[in-house]
Structure formats: structure tokens, C-alpha cells
A and B are shown apart, each in its own frame.
Chain A
């Protein structure tokens, strides 16, 4: 009796938390922490499993990788570098709004590939609104495009988007694997995005003649508030990137690289640790902790295993069908619910699939990073990251920019976003499907 009740309880807590997160009545971090506490209090997962084991419970790699990058960005953003970039790219658009949108998209996508998407758009969007107001055009098309570009760019690397960080933690795949397997298709997707945006907004953005020269008068050099700190930050950022490239031969986890970079920058910049720690998004980090504990409850009570068996039998019959289901399913799910809890739930299922494919438990690590799992991991990554572009609530960057626009009196309507986001999301996932098929399934 007790044993049959446990999975039901775990599932109820998880589904309840998921539903509450969707209603947005309570902060998602509070819900995740309450769910985690319930799992622990009811003994659905032991404290040891929740906090002290690898491949089960809290993935400290995800937490400390995010933390390290948040510290590095928290210091770098004080230099004014992002404002400089935004103004520079707007100027390069030579007073032609569509060209400016394309230039700002490129900057946003590249920055998002290496930094947190939310941070990137939070820094670029305010300058964008200033540029749009200066040109007397609506900032909404600019902001929509920056959201889309940010989510596409973030897909390219291990550190670009939380789903990728979590997938790296679950699979053991390294920074260069993500770069080799995701970056090529993301470049194609992004080029297609640029072409589509150009076509979608053709002729709809007219700037009054007298407003055209105004942007050229902006002096982006004055946006750099601290040149010394900028040099320091760029050097540390470059070193951190080199560290990411080399983390596998060095036998270091990405989290160790990010933490070392953060520590180094804290020392050389002499930034006030208290102030910098205020910049860290603790709610996001604790959301991850709560989520990992809840998912540990699902794994421990056998729910993940049960669902995985279905996935495994599908994978046994047709790897291609499994990959496509995962890709389109993840994209659809991530368009309507937060992709972070989604990936946190699917990751252990894929580990179970790998366990089923492995001839012996000793081979699990090799199978996790082996050719059979490749189409599955990359389908999950592409689907979960790109799916966020489907709706205004699909990813954190979307929600944050929508809030920013609302407070500035130019709200982004749900339908307006859908008009551009959904077709571009479908386009990007379709390109991904072709890529996954051609590269891993033929």
C-alpha cells in the first residue's frame, strides 16, 4: 500500500508544482522550493540522494556554472560594453530600421551564445528602446527580434542557455561537443532567421527624414564608463572561454572553469563582493535546486523509469522517430511551459534510455556520449532552446523583455509576438529536423 502510494504522491507534487508555475500565481522559485521540501519531508527522496550524489538530485555543475557566469557578467556589464555594442551596431545600420534590427540581432545572438540570454537582452533592450524613440519608430519589432535572436544564439553553445547546461550535466558532453554539434546548425538557422525577418518586416518600418541623422550623433565611446575594468573583464572573459575549449583535456568540469574565471575577475577587478553578489540571480539558482530535488523524487519513486521504458522501446524500434518526437515535442512543450523544468524532467529519461542501450552498467558513460544518443541529446537541446521562441512566455528572455516593454508604455502583445515568433520557431525547428536527420540518422 505504502509503496504504491509513493509514486502517486511524487507525481502529484510534481504535476501540482508544474501547474502552479504555469498559473504564475506564486513565484516559480517558491513553488519549486515548496515542492522540494515536500519531497524531502515525505521521504520520497533521501537528503543524501537529493544533495550528495552525482546523476541524481541537485546538479551542482549546473548551479556553479550559472553562478560563475553570472558573476563574470555582473562585473563586465558595469563597463558599459553592452551599451557600446548596441549603439555601434545601430549606427552600422545607417538609419535604416531593418538594417539596425539585423545588426542588433547579430550582436544579441553572439552575446547570448556566451552569456546568459536574460542578462544580454536586459542590457541591450533599454538602449534599443532609446534608439527606437530617437528614430520615432515603435520599439516593438526591435524587441521581438532581439528576443528571437537571443534564444537562437543561446542554442549554439554549452553555456548559452540553461537547457544546454543541464544537458551537459546529464550527458557528460563537453563544451567542444556542443560547439561542433550545435553551432553549425545554429549558424544556418540564424542566417535563415535574418532573411525571414528582413522579409517579414519589409516596408513596415519608416523613419521620418529628420530623425535619420540623430543616431549618428550618439557618441558610443562615452558609453564606456570604465576602460580599465573593460580591458580586465575582456581578458578574463577570453581566458574563461579558452578554459571552456580546453576543459575536457584538462579534466575539469565547465563549472570549475566558470568559477575560476569568476574568482579571477573578482580578484583583479577588486569589485565589491557584496555588490556583485546582489547581481547574481539567486531566485534562478534556487529554482534549479528545488527543481532538481523534485525530479530526484520522480526518479527515486520509479516514475521516470516507467515513462522511460516507453521511450526506450520506441528508441529500440526507430531512433529516427524517437529523435523527431523529442525535437518537435520539446519545441512544442518549451513554447508553452518553462523549458528549464521540461529539460530537467526529460534528462533523467534519456539517461534511462542510455542505461537500456548499454550492454553493462560500466558502459553507461560511453553510451551516454556515444553515437546512438547523439540524435537524442541534440534533438532535446535544439527543441527546448528554439521552442522558447514560439510564444511570448516560451523563455525567460521573452518574459523579461515583455515586462521591460510594458513598464515603458509599449507593451508587446501576445498575438503580435506569436505572429513573428511562431513561424520563425517552426522554421528553426524544421531546419534542425533536417540537420539531425542528415547528420545522425542516415
Chain B
């Protein structure tokens, strides 16, 4: 099985100039957790993920402290950071240079990429341009399908 066979061709992408609030709205509408960010020529610049947007709203030091359970339940100071997060350009938030594959890439290679690079979506490119996307669910379905009844394997 290759990427070209399992990828989603109707890939929702966002332009580099989009704002975080536009991307969040698009994620909410489409249900996708990660959207490829592309330039004018359709080249993949990065992936905008929900986790990256969440990180934007948190100070770096919070991650360095790690366990902040000592904060009171009604702790508010981080809230001030959420207000301006929506105006930030997605290009500054996205995970840059994500791993991309071609349509000929094997399912096994994609599975290994997802696990080692800890990514849930892998853009598929032809001549440098975005033509589809393979999600974690697509890979799981492909791997698991042979082992379950045909009746519940259909999508």
C-alpha cells in the first residue's frame, strides 16, 4: 500500500498569512487536528497543529517548570496571553519543515515516520506541491483493516 492510495486528496490547507483565529475556526469546522501551511505555489511550509496553538498560549517557563500543580485553582495570569494569541500569524506558530512523503512512499515508511517524528499528519507532495495528506487514522485503518471483519472495515 502506498501513500497515493490511502491519502486524502481533498486536503484543507491554509495560506502562510492566515491568523491563528482563522485556523482555529477552520479546524473547528473541518474537525482536522493539523492543517498544512502552504505558500502561493502550494509548497508545504509547515503544519499548524492544535498542540502548537496551545503552546502559543502558554509561557515557555511553564513548560520548563513542568508540574504547576502548586498554582491555585483560580489562577488567572496566563489568561492575558490568550487575548492576543488569535492575531498571531500561523507561520510563527506552525511546526516548520514537517516530514513530507511522495505518492509512492510505502505505508510502512509512513508509519515509522509518524512514530519517530511524533506527527499525526504527513503531507503528500508531487514536484514540491501539496497533493494530499495522510492522517494517523488512515494509517491505523490500513494496518488494522486486514484483521477485522469486512463488514466493519468500510468507511
Tell me the A residues contacting B by CB distance below 8 Å.
80, 83, 87, 122, 125-127, 129-130, 133-134, 136, 214, 217-223, 225, 404, 407-409
A127 to B77, CA, bound (A): 14
- Is B61's CB under 8 angstroms from A218's CB? no
A214 to B75, CA, bound (A): 8
- Is A80's CB under 8 angstroms from B67's CB? yes
- Is B65's CB under 8 angstroms from A130's CB? yes
What 6 pairs between A and B have smallest CB-CB spacing?
A126-B61, A126-B64, A217-B72, A129-B61, A222-B70, A223-B70
- Is A223's CB under 8 angstroms from B67's CB? yes
Closest to B71 in A: A218
- Is A126's CB under 8 angstroms from B65's CB? yes
Instruction: State the majority secondary structure of interface residues on B.
Output: loop
A80 to B64, CA, bound (A): 12
A83 to B60, CA, bound (A): 16
The smallest beta-carbon distance between A300 and chain B, in angstroms, is: 44
What are the interface flags for B57-80 relative to A under an 8 Å C-beta threshold, 1 for contact and 0 otherwise? 001111011011111100101000
Contact residues in B for A222 (Cβ distance below 8 Å): 69-70
Listed by A's residue number, 20 A-B pairs whose Cβ atoms lie within 8 Å are A122-B64, A125-B61, A126-B61, A126-B62, A127-B65, A130-B62, A130-B65, A214-B77, A217-B72, A219-B72, A220-B70, A221-B70, A222-B69, A222-B70, A223-B67, A223-B70, A225-B67, A404-B61, A404-B64, A408-B60
A409 to B70, CA, bound (A): 24
A404 to B68, CA, bound (A): 18
Contact residues in B for A219 (Cβ distance below 8 Å): 70, 72
Q: A222-B69, A408-B60 are in contact. List 15 more A-B contacts (CB 8 A).
A: A80-B67, A83-B65, A83-B67, A83-B70, A129-B59, A130-B61, A130-B65, A134-B75, A214-B75, A214-B77, A219-B72, A222-B70, A223-B70, A407-B60, A409-B59
What are the interface flags for B75-88 relative to A under an 8 Å C-beta threshold, 1 for contact and 0 otherwise? 10100000000000
A231 to B147, CA, bound (A): 50
A156 to B60, CA, bound (A): 32
- Is A133's CB under 8 angstroms from B59's CB? yes
Instruction: State the majority secondary structure of interface residues on A.
Output: helix
Chain B stretch 90-115: residues in CB contact (< 8 A) with chain A: none
- Is A408's CB under 8 angstroms from B72's CB? no
A129 to B61, CA, bound (A): 7
Contact residues in B for A127 (Cβ distance below 8 Å): 61, 65
Cβ-defined partner of B77 (8 Å) among A122, A133, A407: A133
A396 to B20, CA, bound (A): 36
Contact residues in B for A129 (Cβ distance below 8 Å): 59, 61
A220 to B72, CA, bound (A): 10
Contact residues in B for A409 (Cβ distance below 8 Å): 59
A87 to B75, CA, bound (A): 15
A138 to B72, CA, bound (A): 21
Contact residues in B for A122 (Cβ distance below 8 Å): 64
Closest to A405 in B: B61
Contact residues in A for B77 (Cβ distance below 8 Å): 133-134, 136, 214
Chain B stretch 118-147: residues in CB contact (< 8 A) with chain A: none
Closest to B67 in A: A225
The smallest beta-carbon distance between A75 and chain B, in angstroms, is: 15
Closest to A127 in B: B65
Contact residues in B for A408 (Cβ distance below 8 Å): 59-61
- Is B70's CB under 8 angstroms from A87's CB? yes
Which of B61, B62, B68 has the most C-beta atoms of chain A within 10 angstroms of its own C-beta? B61
The smallest beta-carbon distance between B6 and chain A, in angstroms, is: 35
The smallest beta-carbon distance between B39 and chain A, in angstroms, is: 27
A319 to B113, CA, bound (A): 66
Contact residues in A for B60 (Cβ distance below 8 Å): 404, 407-408
The smallest beta-carbon distance between A119 and chain B, in angstroms, is: 13
A44 to B150, CA, bound (A): 74
A133 to B71, CA, bound (A): 13
The smallest beta-carbon distance between B85 and chain A, in angstroms, is: 13
Contact residues in A for B59 (Cβ distance below 8 Å): 129-130, 133, 408-409
The smallest beta-carbon distance between B23 and chain A, in angstroms, is: 21
Contact residues in B for A407 (Cβ distance below 8 Å): 60
A219 to B73, CA, bound (A): 10
Contact residues in A for B67 (Cβ distance below 8 Å): 80, 83, 223, 225
A130 to B71, CA, bound (A): 10
The smallest beta-carbon distance between B83 and chain A, in angstroms, is: 14
A134 to B62, CA, bound (A): 12
Closest to B65 in A: A126
A169 to B35, CA, bound (A): 56
Closest to A78 in B: B66
A400 to B60, CA, bound (A): 14
Contact residues in B for A217 (Cβ distance below 8 Å): 72, 75
